[in-house]
Structure 1
Amino acid sequence: MEAYIADWLHLGLRWLHVVAAITWVGSSFYFNRIDRSFRPPVPPVDRVSGQLWSIHGGSIYNYSRYPTGPGYVPDNLKWSKWESFGTWVSGALLLAVVYWWGAGVNLVTGGPDGLSPALGILVSIGSMVVAWVVYDVMCRTIPSDHVLSVAVAAFMALLLWIFLQIFSGKAAFLHVGIAMATLMAGNVWFVILPGQKKMLQAIKDGTIDRFDVGASAKRRNYHSNYLTLPIVFAMIASHFPMTYGSAHAWLGFILISAAGVAVRHFFNTMHHGHTQSRWLVVAAVISLGAIVLLAPPNLAAPANGPVAAVETGRVASIIETRCAACHAVKPTLPGFNAPPNGLVLDSLQAAAAHAQKIRQMAVDAPLMPPGNLTGMTEEERALLAAWIAAGAPTK
């Protein structure tokens, strides 16, 4: 019953999180596009620094940018804030259901040298707080925008390295994504929104001409703009063990994130009106480098080998004792209501049909069993590798 309830909570929260993220990311992309597409109005318009004419859905729209307001506070002023709040809160709840509730399986690495589930949860919670505090201090103390951007990137890389030491691979990737999302949401609620409220008050007081309209908010929005695609990658990478299960996962994440930043920069230049297509080439080259780097060392190994050298009886025993506890029609391991991803491995024949998946998850990278709950040994992994190389015989 508990596992069934957890599955529905997981589904509901993931659905909510994806919908909220679509609205937040879509809003961010849209407003960054508009902001970079403004051009000086011709003829000049009082208080307007830029205008954008656009067509969509059979209508023509005219956007005007008022850096210090139109001289009054509009009655129906649309705020963009609940998108970030909904995304972060739903993501935190999803983290709790998937990674804290099942901490022994999904969060920590397991084994005598790993963190206990309880300590892993505390580190998970604390990492979000630490990420925001360190970032906020850097923003307040580093005056150079370029130096600050490099410092933020280095800080995210350091967090990822730390997470990879203490969490499972997919949890590590997810947590650096959560750290980035925390920076973005924190920027909205702790910097940008308060600054906007002060701006509105200055308009009401008639002191707007002497008001700093938000250099700090601008630089933080700049960070959020470039963090968006790395966050999206961090969130979807858990579905692709070839990324987080590699021995080079740390560098692979950095390369793929850098490719995302390059793609984002291409769109920024396009919106500015001076498209720099070379950034797409940079992204493609970096992505290719990541693909080569993350490839398993035995990717080109022959599919077939000497069948006689493989003891299929021992392989069947490994499948039964190490895999079938979770991957059975009715799993026997507590916390599993159904076989993960619908993958049933309750016999040698069933395992043979998914041999390459087993190779990816249990041989190329020791990702399965999760947290090594069933205690698979290195000798057993080597035997699985030999069995798969021999063509996964069943007799």
Structure 2
Amino acid sequence: MANILGNLNRALMVGGILLLIVALAFHAPDIASDPANWANWFLRFAHVLCGILWIGLLYYFNFVQIPTMPKVPAELKPAVSKYIAPEALFWFRWSALATMVLGLAIAGSPPQLYLVEALTFQAPYRLIGVGMWLGIIMAANVWMFIWPNQKIALGIVEGTPEAKAEAAKKAMLFSRTNFVLSFPMLYCMVTTYGLAR
């Protein structure tokens, strides 16, 4: 068991196989009779999975890494900045992009087709539209502000000590902005189908 679960790629493969077994066991007739509808549900699953990774890492940065780094002894900080943070930021930025793209694909594909209506806040899609715009802003923050500044702060891109400190501050502020926006964004996403839209 440790041989399988001790390796991330093997654990992912086992999870994928279990997902396939469950999908076929419970939805084989749906897949066969209405593949477009099932594909839309699968897009939703992928959107939520990527969103969990993205927002989970956002919360890791804001609840764990940012508050803990000042307490880490100077000789141990390179372990975080050279190994942990770059890897976490890799998954953070790509899961942000995947979450946004999958969400837009869901809204723009049959049977939904509410992308334009949601993005322009037309009834009954105003609530999901707010959530979509918050998600788009958050994903843009990741790629346009957090990641470029983190590259400088972590030394991936050359910078003076002053430039690194300034970039770390900017990255933290945009990360905190996303942290704050995540609450109304998640509310809009989760309650869209249970409340009046």
Tell me the TM-score normalized by structure 2. 0.66
> What are the superposed Cα offsets for residues 215-244 of structure 1, whole Å, 9 maximum, x if unpaired?
332222122111112111211223213x43
For the pair 1:95 / 2:95, whether they are aligned, the reply is no
In structure 2, C-alpha distance between the alignment counterparts of 1:22 and 1:81, rounded to whole Å = 13
Match of 1:233 in 2: 187
Q: 1:205 to 1:39 in 2, by over 3 A?
A: closer
Q: In proportion to residue count, which structure has more helix?
A: 2
Matched, 1:74 2:82: yes
How far did 1:102 drift?
4.2
Q: Larger C-alpha radius of gyration, 1 or 2?
A: 1
1:168 aligned counterpart, secondary structure: coil
Q: Which runs of 5+ in 2 are unaligned?
A: 1-32
How far the C-alpha of 1:28 sits from its partner, in A, is: 1.4
Amino acid at match of 1:208: P
Runs of at least 5 residues in structure 1 that lack an aligned partner in the other structure: 48-63, 108-119, 128-161, 245-395
Report the aligned-residue RMSD. 3.2
What is residue 207 of structure 1 aligned with on the other side?
160
Q: Which of 160, 170, 173 is the matching residue for 1:216?
A: 170
Question: In 2, Cα distance between the equivalents of 1:5 and 1:22?
Answer: 25
Classify the secondary structure of the residue corresponding to 2:147. helix
Note closer, same or farther for the CA distance 1:210–1:227 as it changes in structure 2 (3 Å cut).
Answer: closer
Query: Residue 180 of structure 1 contacts residue 227 of structure 1 at CA under 8 Å; is this kept in 2?
Result: yes
- Cα distance in 1 for partners of 2:44, 2:157 equals 42
CA pair 39-97 structure 1, distance change in 2 beyond 3 A: closer
Name which of 15, 20, 23 aligns with 2:50: 20
Match of 2:74 among 33, 38, 46: 46
Measured in 2, the distance between the counterparts of 1:198 and 1:40 equals: 18
8 Å CA contact 1:195, 1:214 repeated in 2: yes
TM superposition shift of 1:17: 0.6
Aligned amino acid, residue 82 of structure 2? P
8 Å CA contact 2:100, 2:139 repeated in 1:
yes
Q: Is the 8 A contact 2:131 2:185 kept in 1?
A: yes
The structure-2 alpha-carbon separation of the partners of 1:210 and 1:197, relative to structure 1 and needing over 3 Å to count, comes to closer
TM-score scaled by length of structure 1: 0.35
Q: Does 1:34 align with 2:64?
A: yes
**In structure 2, C-alpha distance between the alignment counterparts of 1:213 and 1:91, rounded to whole Å:** 30
Q: 1:185 deviation in Å?
A: 0.5
Per-residue CA deviations over 1:266-291 (Å, capped at 9, x if unaligned) read xxxxxxxxxxxxxxxxxxxxxxxxxx
